[in-house]
Copies of this chain bind each other. A is one copy, B any other.
Amino acid sequence: MDHQELALVLGNAIEQQDFDSALEQVKGMRPVDIADILAEISPALAWRLLDKIPDRAGIFSYLDIDVQMELAREYPRGNLARLIGEMPSDERADLYKQLDQEQKDALLPALAQAERENIRKLASYSEGTAGALMTSDYATLDGNMNVHEALAALRREAPDAETIYHAYVIDAQRKLVGVVSLRALILAAPGTLMHSLMISNPIHSQVNDDQEDVAKTIARYDLIALPIVDENGAIVGIVTHDDAMDVMSEEATDDFHKSGGVSTMIGNMKDVSIRVLYKKRVFWLVLLVFGNLFSGAGIAHFEDVIAANIVLVFFLPLLVDSGGNAGSQSATLMVRALATGEVVMRDWFSLLGREALVALCLGGTMAVAISLVGYWRGDTTVAIILAMSMMCVVLIGCVIGMSLPFILNKMGFDPASASAPLITSVCDASGVVIYLFIASQFLSLT
């Protein structure tokens, strides 16, 4: 049976409250697949199954935080404390942060002293930092251990450590001095000391570093885990490759949404409420309504020219859109290049020159296309007006689209806020003015 079939059989068994056969199914399944099924059934049924599975904490950790909260409300407090005690330290700190004060106060006394402190500590780091992402379940070694002793230590630490493939060598002050891979350990002679086997000065991040930088570091150095140190250089946690992958996906979604003019979205698109969707979207839309009044003002200024030459209106949306389209292309390229680190602030000037050349080529091509249409709908004058306007509009659109992400970055905003709607509105207003200005010059001559 493949995993989808397993899931179906399990779902049916649970629905029919046939827990013996459900348990039989669970044996062949991965925790994340079991969690997906539990999220679909009632909390009471979910608990009846979970209570029978040895790795319930692992499965519970894979549930969305909302589902965890829902389940937590339906579970006797003593059992819940035991479950939370067994969860990976990073996942349980995330759950703890979501509990209200009353739940926290009820939960903490039921936990062991060490767990209590661990939760409080991990929950204290601000969202989006390495501290909030890391787990404290890592393996450490002493520099004076030999390979034989180190392997024995790792065997002891294995049940609680998220990974033992990298172990961190620390001194008496828990200062991070090196990293030893399990690969190196099993290849080395039994008597080799960790001090000589370890890689000194290992790649690490600070506890307050941005989670995006942490993920980039893990990707750059192909790490399984990245050690996180405090201001004294003492190791306080590790971020594992799978968490880094989740962060990269989240940050990409975040940038994608921002560039489409949606504020940061939290949660799954399928489950998000109408109220949240409205709230995340209305800001930009209303702002842009007022931003667009500048286009209107531009038009008002040239009302006489338009009234005398209604044919100009025919090309208005087209010209104005072209600038916005070219500009949002430029912005798209720059936003993503800044996000992946391909491009940095100091590249702005050299990129601007190239962008201007590309814009001239693009504008030239589009000018040819539109002047043909202009000649057909109007006359040579209209064709010339359109060609000239198109060149200017595309050039200015590209320069705006390329520069805005840099300017926003410089001002401390996320460059992804240079969204398509924003670029479009800014380019539209300049497009209207350029087009009608050029038109008024030519038409007053004739």
Contact = CB atoms under 8 A, between A and B. Distances in A.
Interface core residue of A164, A203, A245, A326 (most chain B CB under 10 Å): A245
Contacts of A320: 317
Contact of A292 (B249, B286, B322): B322
Interface core residue of A313, A357, A370 (most chain B CB under 10 Å): A313
Contact of A293 (B165, B288, B318, B336): B318
A141 interface: no
Interface in A307-352: 307, 310, 313-318, 320-322, 324-326, 328-329, 331-337, 340, 342-343, 347, 351
Nearest to A243: B222
Contacts of A101: none
A314 B286 contact: no
Interface residues of A, number: 107
A420 interface: yes
Interface in A282-306: 282, 284-286, 288-290, 292-293, 295-296, 299-300, 303, 306
13 contacts: A30-B203, A32-B221, A154-B186, A182-B186, A244-B245, A245-B245, A256-B335, A259-B332, A268-B337, A270-B343, A274-B354, A282-B362, A288-B325
Interface of A: 28, 30, 32, 151, 154-155, 158, 164-165, 182-183, 186-187, 201, 203, 218-222, 224, 240-242, 244-246, 248-249, 252-253, 255-257, 259-262, 265, 268-270, 274, 277-278, 281-282, 284-286, 288-290, 292-293, 295-296, 299-300, 303, 306-307, 310, 313-318, 320-322, 324-326, 328-329, 331-337, 340, 342-343, 347, 351, 354, 357-358, 361-362, 365-366, 369-370, 373, 377, 394, 420-421, 424-425, 428, 432
